[in-house]
Amino acid sequence: MKILLPFLKLYRRHSVLLTLGVILAILTLLASIGLLTLSGWFLAAASLAGFAGLYSFNYMLPAAGVRGAAITRTASRYFERLVSHDATFRVLQHLRVTLFTKLLPLTPGRLSRFQQGDLVNRLVADVDTLDHLYLRVISPMVGALCVVLVVIAGLSWLDVQLAMTLGFILLATLLILPPLFYRLGYADGAALTRQRSEYRSLLMRWLQGMAELRIYGAEPDYRHKLELMEQQWHSTQQRQAGLSAWSQAILMLISGLTITLMLWLSAAGVGNMIKPGALIALFVFCSLAAFEALAPVATAFQHLGQVIASAERVTEITAQRPTVSFDDDRQQAATQVSIALECVSFSYENSAFPALQNISLRLRAGEKVALIGRTGSGKSSLLQLLTRAWDPQQGEITLNDQPLASWQESALRKMTTVVSQRVHLFSATLRDNLLLAAPGASDAQLSHALQQVGLEKLLSSPEGLNAWLGEGGRQLSGGERRRLGIARALLHDGALWLLDEPTEGLDAHTELQILSLLQNVTRDKSVIMVTHRLQGVENMDRIGVMDGGQLIELGSHQELIAKRGRYSDFQRRNALQ
């Protein structure tokens, strides 16, 4: 249960709405009990009065009470659902924002060990499951307890012994039944959470690898594995449903026996009345309505197993310590950037080979360096160290002669412009995707950036900047997504530009245009460009050749050509193609 305490603390921010929701739920239950109790007594009393009571029996007051209880129940039920769901959605929103805030420092170091499907399931399905804590556990339990106490107090005015008897049975049911079925259903609840995650992860891998599975004839085996897991999931759900049925059956049995007992006891007299008459119906119908209020409680704790399992899975991520921590010193972003790497070495977790070995490189303010080499030679890893996605295990990186680790994150991000290999586009408008790089940019600036990278056609559509890109920008080609990433870079315009394959996926003509554009806009900027294409690298101040995580050559285009080393071989092979 302790695992739920951090999530319960998040409820404090919305305590007013949550408390109001519980109060309205209690009011709804009391109105329902009052309606059934008063209706039962009214019908019984009216039948006993008969025709003789047409002028002596007060029909108007009980009828008004019945109508008032019905109206109150309807109104309170509506507002209870409105308030409770609004509060739940606000809690979920707060939980998602809080969780995302904790996840950002963990990226990518601590999240790389989680599979993509499993991570998505934790962030979506497990977080959604946490809303059961309020809607299906806290609110029903608190509401039922308050209703039982009110029923005991109300019936005590008529007969203390009968009220205490009914109250004892209700409280015993409330205190014994939920924990009992929590124990019985905890294992299946935790299994449901785990199986749901495993099934969705396997399904995602199946969909992503469909082409390869079909090509190599492995799709039937993979599908069979998916079906077996689905059967296990359904079997667990069936056991949970059976347990819910048993809890409801036991509650109905207790309810029936209690109503019979109350009928027998009240028939012997209510209070000082030896002939209670219609009061027998009052106690019987009140008992029946009170057990209806307990109906959600019987299965409330069955959901607690799923909630706890989801909380454990979410906490498994958020409880990690970031691999990189930033200094809190208030530093101003620099307008000129110099970088120095001194004997830097870095290895990924559980990797048999180092990604970088003893790298030493100095970049003067305004200097431009291109890093070339085979795939896996460590080029992108070096850029990730400069953005502090990771910290090196050995050596030191300094920025403007200060350790990179001493820079505040906001200052580092402000003065660094990054074009990554994979440009991520969100399911939002074109404007929203561009404003990520410069939140204060005007529409004119956004349009100018698009025109600079040759995406005028995106502005010519009827929607213009309001055009919806869809998840991952699926309606755009790879080259268009790449140019959108460069448009973001133009809008951000930091003092240090880190370009990872900026012309990947572009045709030769567009590549020349983009390289010319980048050369113009970064005239006074510091630039490190990672590429495996040699187009335009001769215009860089220096060129570094990487292989096996080492910087094996470094110099200008003319120096490396004259050296007749690895760079010269690359140029010669490129000329032959």
Take residue 371 and report the two structure tokens written for it: 């890093």
**Strand, coil or helix: 342:** strand
Query: Where in 318-454 does DSSP place strands (E)?
Result: 339-346, 356-363, 368-373, 394-399, 402-403, 416-419
Domain 2-318 in CATH 3.65.10.10: no
Half-sphere exposure in the Cβ direction for 311 (13 Å, CA) = 18
491 to 105, 436, 442: CA distances (angstroms): 25, 9, 10
Q: What is the pLDDT along the chain (577 residues), one digit of tens a residue?
A: 678 887 788 788 888 988 999 999 999 999 999 899 888 888 888 787 766 655 666 777 878 888 999 999 999 999 999 998 898 888 888 888 888 888 888 888 777 777 777 788 888 888 888 878 888 888 888 888 999 999 999 888 888 999 999 999 999 998 888 888 888 888 888 888 888 888 888 888 888 888 888 888 888 888 898 899 999 989 999 998 898 899 889 999 999 999 999 889 888 878 777 677 788 888 888 998 888 888 888 777 777 888 888 888 888 888 888 888 877 666 677 888 999 999 999 998 877 788 999 999 999 999 999 999 888 888 999 999 999 888 899 999 999 988 888 888 888 899 999 998 888 888 888 899 899 999 989 999 999 999 999 888 888 888 888 888 887 777 788 888 889 999 999 999 899 999 998 888 888 888 889 989 999 999 889 999 998 888 888 889 999 999 989 999 899 989 888 888 888 888 787 665 5
| pLDDT at 328 (0 to 100) | 66
Q: What ranges do the domains of the chain cover?
A: 2-318, 339-576
CA distance 172 to 166: 10
* Alpha-carbon span 106 to 7, nearest angstrom: 19
CATH topology of domain 339-576: Rossmann fold (3.40.50)
Q: How far is CA 355 from the centre of its chain?
A: 32
Q: Are 361 and 340 in contact (CB under 8 A)?
A: yes
**Mapping DSSP to helix (H, G, I), strand (E, B) and coil, where does residue 193 land?**
helix
Phi-psi region of 576 (alpha: psi -120 to 50; beta: other; left: phi over 0): alpha
Give the per-residue pLDDT at 396. 93
CA 531 and chain centroid, separation: 35
Whether 333 and 415 have beta carbons less than 8 Å apart is answered as: yes
Tell me the residue type at 247. S
Contact (Cβ atoms closer than 8 angstroms) between residue 495 and residue 339: no
DSSP one-letter code for 106 = G
Nearest to 166 by CA among 268, 279, 283: 283
**Nearest C-alpha neighbor of 418 from the set 332, 514, 500, 340:** 500
Q: Crossing angle of helices 15-49/60-103, nearest 10°? A: 160
Q: Are 288 and 256 in contact (CB under 8 A)?
A: no
Dist. CA 85–CA 88, nearest whole Å:
5
Helix (H, G, I), strand (E, B) or coil at 555: strand
**Per this entry, what is the length of the chain?**
577
Q: Decide: helix, strand or coil at residue 324.
A: coil
What's the pLDDT score for residue 339?
94
Query: What pTM did the predictor assign?
Result: 0.74
